[in-house]
Amino acid sequence: MKEKITTSNAPQPAGPYSQGIRVGNRVYVAGQGPTDPKTGTIASDDIKEQTRQVLRNIRAILEAAGSSMDCVVKSTVHLADLKYFGEFNEAYHEFFQEPYPVRTTVGSQLNKILVEIDVIAED
């Protein structure tokens, strides 16, 4: 059975999808961008700050599901340009501890943002 996860502490979906879905002990978090949920604006034009805001949004959704960043087992990262990889990785590292989640990082066409991330967590 699917349980919809929603919180005002992360940006509201811009289309017909959920912020997150819980199925049993697993939480799926939709791709999050760097929008600050309080202001509705993109956090910054800096890749590190955008990454931090994306991960704060993900953390808020996980917490609304009763989960945490420590439970993340998989992340998929979309970067507007792979030249940002090093700086992105520095900010990403601030949110995770060993054992790190498995991760796929790809270059993608993103509209007005530098990074988008989705995750799967297992409680």
H/E run at residue 54: helix 47-64
Model pTM? 0.97
Confidence of residue 43 (pLDDT cuts 50, 70, 90): confident
> pLDDT for 105-115, tens place per residue?
999 999 999 99
Query: Per the structure, how many domains does the chain have?
Result: 1
Q: Give the structural domain span for 98.
A: 2-122
Q: What is the CATH number of the domain that holds 99?
A: 3.30.1330.40
CA nearest neighbour of 69 among 38, 34, 29: 29
Q: How far apart, in Å, are the Cα atoms of 52 and each of 22, 47, 90?
A: 24, 9, 10
> pLDDT for 10-36, tens place per residue?
999 999 999 999 999 999 999 999 999
